[in-house]
């Protein structure tokens, strides 16, 4: 099987909501993710994790806050890119907040 990296994007406004949620709201919001991970357990190389705001390294060696709204990742296994895409159809991240998206890329052989 091939491996694919999924990158989750969400507007910063969605991320700002997270610290205000109660423990019960956090658990309820994670249930669809847990259900998705259970459904695709055989395809998950790494279920992933949320990510803090990224930092970018410029060619001149300086670090700066990134404007990209990367919020998490997963690594999945599938035979083809089309099979990998099917794993993400209806993914819970897409209904989290307006403007959320998922991108997938196949790992290239070195």
- pLDDT at residue 56 is higher than 80: yes
Cα–Cα distances (Å) from 81 to 27, 57, 66, in that order, read: 31, 30, 28
This prediction has a pTM of 0.88
Please write the tens of the pLDDT for every residue from 43-54.
999 999 989 888
The residue ranking higher by pLDDT, 21 or 101, is 101
What DSSP element (H or E) covers 17?
A: helix 12-17
Q: 3-class SS at 75?
A: strand
At residue 23, what are phi and psi to the nearest 5 degrees? -60, -40
Burial of 75 (0-12, 13-18, 19+ CB in 10 A): middle
Please write the tens of the pLDDT for every residue from 60-108.
999 998 888 999 999 999 999 999 999 999 999 999 888 999 999 999 9
Domains in the chain, please, with CATH?
Answer: 2-106 (3.30.70.1060)
């Amino acid at each position: 099987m091939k491996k694919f990296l999924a990158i989750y994007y969400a507007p910063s406004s969605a991320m700002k909501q997270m610290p205000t949620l109660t423990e019960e709201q956090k658990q309820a919001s994670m249930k669809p993710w847990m259900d998705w991970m259970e459904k695709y357990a055989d395809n998950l190389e790494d279920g992933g994790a949320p990510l803090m705001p990224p930092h970018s390294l410029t060619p001149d060696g300086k670090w700066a806050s990134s404007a990209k709204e990367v919020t998490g990742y997963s690594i999945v296994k599938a035979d083809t890119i089309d099979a990998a895409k099917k794993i993400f159809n209806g993914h819970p991240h897409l209904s989290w907040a307006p403007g959320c998206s998922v991108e997938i890329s196949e790992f290239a052989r070195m």
